[in-house]
Structure formats: C-alpha cells, structure tokens
Amino acid sequence: MKTRIMPKRRVATLRLDHFIPYKLSVLAAKVSLRLAREYEQAVGLQLPEARVMAVLGSFSPVSSNAVVQHTSMDKATVSRAISRLLHLGLMTRVPDPRDRRLLILSFTPRGRRCYARLTRIARKWESWFVARLSAAEHARLKRSLTKLTERLEANGPYAAPKLRTKRAP
C-alpha cells in the first residue's frame, strides 16, 4: 500500500498580534484613552474639543470647516465640540462678513491660557510615551505613519481581488 504523504493542508491563520491594522487600532485606542484622561482632568476637555483647540492654536482665526479639514474629524463632531467650547467661554464665533456661511473662530484670553496648558500637557505626555524609542526610531515611526496615512488618503485603487462572489452567510 502506497502511503501517499498528504500535502498537509496548511491551515491559514491570522494572528491578530502580528496583524498591523489590529495593532494600530489597539494602540491608538489605548493612547486616546490615556490622553483623553489627561486632558479631562487637567483642563476638563474631551479629545475632540482638545483637537479643535489645537487647530485654533496653530491657525488662529479659522472657520469650522477649516477645522474639519485639519483634523479629519467628522463635521458633526466638530460642530458639537465647538459649541461646548463656546459654552465654556474658550472661544468666540463671528460670521465672516465676506461669506456669511462661514463662522470664524478665535480664542478668548481664557481660551489662549487653556491652550497653553493643553500644549504643555500634550507634549509632556507624548515625550513620556515615546521615551523608550531612540530618536531614530521615533523619526522612522513618524515617517511610516505618514506614509501609511498617505497610502489611504490617495484613496488608493485597492480593488478587492474578486474571489468568487459568494457573500458568505
């Protein structure tokens, strides 16, 4: 009897802990959580609000829409964040006289102070966070993240390789 060695059917597996999309997602979730807590207890702001502050800090008088562009957050989320910030008296909003659809945001003095604290906290936390990476690693990481982000933004023509179109149950 000829025992044929069966070409051991290699069972395809997917180890989540080696799967970059998964690693990214878990890490990002943890980071956001931590940072959100920092912000919350230091200045009483949530992440979306802090992000809006950050944009305002860099590009001072901006419209809501510009914030959306800069943050790649959702329109609705930005709108809600802004209304909270207004309510807190951290920024003001006036319609642009030249295009009255636009609402122009600026810091109040209190907002500027809050922003200053925010940046200190953010920077400090980040440097703690990446302290285990060498400068080179840090730089390479940033570059890789940028590359990958661009990969997605060029909303790449990744066409799902059409395997027979059986939409499994």
Contact positions toward DNA, by CB under 7 A?
29, 46-48, 63-66, 68, 73-80, 82-83, 99-103
List, in order, residues 6 or more apart from 86 with CB less than 8 Å away.
92, 93
User: CB under 5 to 8 A by kind: which of a second copy, DNA, none does 60 bind?
Assistant: none
CA distances from 157 to 45, 153, 154 (A): 38, 11, 8
Is residue 61 near a second copy by the rule CB under 8 A?
no
Largest CA distance in the chain: 92
Which 98-127 residues touch a second copy, going by CB under 8 A?
A: 110, 113-114, 116-126
Q: What's the min distance (Å) between Cβ of 75 and DNA?
A: 4
Tell me which stretch binds a second copy (CB under 8 A): 75-83, 99-107, 140-148. 140-148
Helices 47-58, 109-129: inter-axial angle, 10-degree rounding = 110
Q: Which of 46, 69, 83, 146 lies at the binding interface for a second copy (CB under 8 A)?
A: 146
Is residue 41 near a second copy by the rule CB under 8 A?
yes
User: CB under 5 to 8 A by kind: which of a second copy, DNA, none does 101 bind?
Assistant: DNA
User: CB under 5 to 8 A by kind: which of a second copy, DNA, none does 22 bind?
Assistant: a second copy
- Buried/exposed 120-152: b ≥16 CB within 10 Å, e otherwise: ebbeebeeeeeeeeeeeeeeeeeeeeeeeeeee
